């Protein structure tokens, strides 16, 4: 017993801050929000147990909940592939045959660092305004642009473009992955006269699969959590016509504008379930399409 203590004590001392944080800031709140999700709670009076009431309302009667799901899933389905394709394309251009890529790499990465800021969200509102930069450019080629931000049919695309603009970090991860592919594979293919696109589907894609998988999981989780830019561009409400009602924006408003804390907790838990499901699907299916290099078929 004494020896057990002596062996473990130092490690747990180092782990202590994280352990406290884990119980008080992660595990505790997650369980608390599970409990709250079965209550009605306005922060004035104590939470009142209402069983499945919140979930029942959410799934059967709350139109805005379904709208928020639709907006968020549409966004994820558009933004993640757009960003990843952009990232992979540029990474492949940078990977082969160029001697100096440092400056390009820096330029392409910068938007990823700035993109989450309020300043850029403010800028985006102006770029896509009716008299904004985008429409100016379109006017030069004779196209009458929409009022992108205020038109419910187009507002979501402005955020997809913002997501695409931030392709820098998956690009860096792809670049690191491409570096790991042995050059002689391409040389051998070149000698055999294998055309470029075939080299891409037969060498690059299979060997990059683990990296693609990693980026896909990361970006999907990340996109579900999009908040600041949607909040700023939609004036904090999900406007116009709820077309920017991201799940997180809806949750925020239910909790901190209308103080429906119980219902917002149910929303939060469902978000956790969605993200956990996506992560789980990715991991369980990965063995069918991801082959790691040190693995034998």
Partner 1 sequence: MKTSATDLELAIQMDEAARVAHELRLKRDRQNRNGRILKHIFLIIVSCVMLYPLFWLLASSFKPENEIFGSLTLWPSEFRFENYTKGWYALPISFTVFYVNSAIVTGLSVIGNLVSCSFAAYAFARLSFTGRSFFFALMMMTLMIPYHVVLIPQYVQFLNLGWVDTYLPLVVPRFLASDAFFIFLMVQFFRQLPRELDEAAMIDGCSPFKIYWAIILPLSLPAMGTAAIFSLIWVWEDFLAPLIYLNDIKSYTVPLALRLFLDQEGQSAYGQMFAMSVLSLVPVVIFFVLFQKLIVRGIATSGMK
Nearer to partner 1, 136 or 287 (CB): 136
User: By CB under 8 A, is residue 73 in contact with partner 1?
Assistant: no
Measured in residues, the chain has a length of 297
Interface of this chain with partner 1, residues 91 to 110, rule: CB under 8 A: 93-94, 97-98, 104-110
**Residue 143 or 176 with smaller CB distance to partner 1:** 176
Binding-residue pattern over the window 221 to 250 for partner 1, x denoting contact by CB under 8 A = xx-xx-xx--xx--x------------x--
Stretch that binds partner 1, among 25-33, 48-56, 60-68, 198-206 (CB under 8 A): 25-33
Q: Which is nearer to partner 1, 229 or 243 (CB)?
A: 229
Asked if 143 is part of the footprint of partner 1 (rule: CB under 8 A), the reply reads: no
**Residues numbered 152-191 forming contacts with partner 1, rule: CB under 8 A:** 165, 169, 172-173, 175-176
When the beta carbons of 122 and 281 are compared against partner 1, the nearer one is: 122
Closest distance between partner 1 and the C-beta of residue 72, in Å? 12
Count other C-beta atoms under 10 Å from residue 201's C-beta: 9
**Terminus-to-terminus CA distance in the chain, angstroms?**
47
Residue 154 tokens read as: 């187009």
Residue 258 is a binding residue for partner 1 (CB under 8 A): no
Residue 281 within binding range of partner 1, rule CB under 8 A = no
Does 39 sit near partner 1 (CB under 8 A)? Answer: no
79 binds partner 1 (CB under 8 A): no
Q: How near is the Cβ of 206 to partner 1 at its closest, in Å? A: 20
Helical segments of 42-193, H only? 53-60, 63-95, 102-114, 118-127, 133-140, 155-165, 168-179, 183-191
Q: Which two tokens stand for residue 35?
A: 């409990």
CB of 86 to partner 1, least distance (A): 9
Contact 36, 47 (CB under 8 A): yes
Residue 285 in the binding site for partner 1 (CB under 8 A): no
Q: State the greatest distance between any 2 C-alpha atoms of the chain, in Å, as a whole number.
A: 82
Nearest approach, Cβ of 297 to partner 1 (angstroms)?
26
Question: What does the DSSP assignment read for 79-117?
Answer: HHHHHHHHHHHHHHHHHSS-S--HHHHHHHHHHHHHTTS
For the segment 122-141, give every residue that binds partner 1 (CB under 8 A). Answer: 122-127, 129, 131-133, 136-137
Q: Are 283 and 77 in contact (CB under 8 A)?
A: no
Beta carbons within 8 Å of 229's beta carbon, 6+ residues apart: 115, 116, 120, 121, 124, 159, 162
Among 38, 58, 269, 290, binds partner 1 (CB under 8 A): 269
Helices 168-179 and 63-95: crossing angle, nearest 10°? 40
């Amino acid at each position: 017993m004494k020896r057990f203590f002596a062996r473990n004590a130092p490690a747990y001392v180092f782990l202590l801050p994280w352990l406290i944080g884990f119980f008080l800031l992660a595990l505790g709140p997650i369980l608390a929000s599970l409990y709250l999700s079965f209550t009605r709670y306005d922060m004035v009076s104590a939470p009142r147990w209402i069983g499945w009431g919140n979930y029942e309302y959410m799934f059967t009667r709350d139109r805005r909940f379904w709208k928020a799901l639709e907006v968020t899933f549409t966004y994820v389905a558009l933004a993640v592939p757009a960003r990843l394709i952009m990232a992979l394309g540029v990474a492949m251009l940078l990977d082969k045959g160029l001697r100096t890529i440092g400056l390009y790499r820096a330029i392409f990465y910068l938007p990823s660092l700035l993109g989450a800021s309020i300043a850029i969200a403010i800028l985006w509102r102006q770029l896509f305004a009716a008299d904004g930069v985008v429409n100016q450019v379109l006017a030069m080629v004779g196209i009458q642009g929409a009022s992108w931000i205020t038109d419910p049919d187009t507002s979501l695309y402005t955020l997809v473009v913002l997501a695409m603009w931030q392709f820098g970090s998956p690009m860096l991860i792809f670049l690191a992955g491409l570096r790991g592919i042995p050059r002689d594979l391409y040389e051998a293919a070149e000698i055999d006269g294998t055309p470029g696109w075939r080299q891409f589907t037969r060498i690059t894609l299979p060997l990059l699969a683990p990296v693609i998988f990693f980026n896909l999981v990361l970006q999907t989780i990340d996109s579900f959590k999009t908040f600041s830019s949607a909040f700023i561009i939609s004036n904090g409400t999900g406007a116009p016509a709820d077309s920017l009602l991201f799940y997180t924006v809806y949750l925020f408003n239910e909790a901190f504008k209308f103080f429906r804390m119980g219902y917002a907790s149910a929303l939060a838990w469902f978000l956790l379930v969605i993200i956990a499901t996506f992560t789980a699907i990715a991991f369980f299916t990965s063995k069918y399409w991801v082959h790691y290099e040190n693995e034998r078929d």
